[in-house]
Amino acid sequence: MNKTRSKLAGLLICLALVISGMLVAGYIRSVLLVIEAEKNLHATNLTIDLVCKHIELSRSWPSNWEDLLRLKPTDEHGIWIWPQDKCELMQRVFVDFRPSQQMICTEQLIRGRTPTFPASEALSEKLSKLVRDISSAGNSVFPSSSSK
């Protein structure tokens, strides 16, 4: 009877260690995902800031990352330094440099790769407002389909 109890106790201890290890591994993975999401968020916000600056200066949507290189962001954006971190931003943020004239949802034109958090509401609204204001004046921020 004592041998059975000691085997059962050993088995329960092993099971507890395995479950604890799985919980710790899951926790570490979650923390790492949150860190990546935060990096992608700051990269997305910086990119939206640069695109807004480009639109303000040229009244047009940028055609590539090179169009953004000469610009200085309006604000600092966490861990990223522009343009030194250009390659990292290009990997973390999708920018549609060839949007159609019918594009309405600017949030789909610039978005962080997963995992990410939603971009700054203030920056997203600023971008949408710039596009709307230029469009309401009878112009388009986006290239015409004939120039594609």
Give the model confidence (pLDDT) of 7-35 as tens digits: 899 999 999 999 999 999 999 999 999 99
Contacts 24+ apart (CB under 8 A), 11-18: none
pLDDT, one tens digit per residue, over 37-54 is 999 999 999 999 999 999
**Average pLDDT over the chain, rounded to an integer:** 88
pLDDT at 148: 43
The structure's pTM equals 0.81
All structural domains of the chain with their residue ranges: 35-147
- What is the arithmetic mean of pLDDT over 103-120? 80
Residue 135 contacts residue 100 (beta carbons within 8 Å):
no
